[in-house]
Amino acid sequence: MKFAILVNEGAYQHQASDSAYQFVKAALEKGHEIFRVFFYHDGVYNASRLSVPPQDDRNINKRWSELAQQHQVDLVVCIAAAQRRGILDAAEAKRQGKDADNLAEGFRISGLGQLIEASIEAERLIVFGD
């Protein structure tokens, strides 16, 4: 089965990101396809490379990056939600006159059209968080 995933909550504010990650990992292990994981609303915080959890806690942001690298999972961050929350890639930081970017490896910034495409291409759209 081909899944699209929507994550609406941040990495440490809600269980949604953990649940989405575990679902994606399990689905891949079972041979399913993940068309795209789209991060929206506070879910864009999952894409910050500046998140530094305590050493004895899970590093959700790093887990997503590693999953993308290992399985070529398309991790897309909503540009409007990201800008509002200070998540920028290098090109957007330059365009906005900012002196730094903070998008984690494996993530890319794009628009809501990517979510629409994912919901059309996938057999199921699974939503994690409000």
> H/E element holding 127?
strand 124-128
- 39 beta partners: 7, 77
Q: 């365009």: which residue's tokens?
A: 95
Q: Report CA torsion sign: 28, 6, 14, 110.
A: positive
Choice among 78, 82, 88, 115 that is catalytic: 78
78 in active site: yes
Give the Cα separation of 5 and 24 in Å (integer).
8
Catalytic site positions: 78
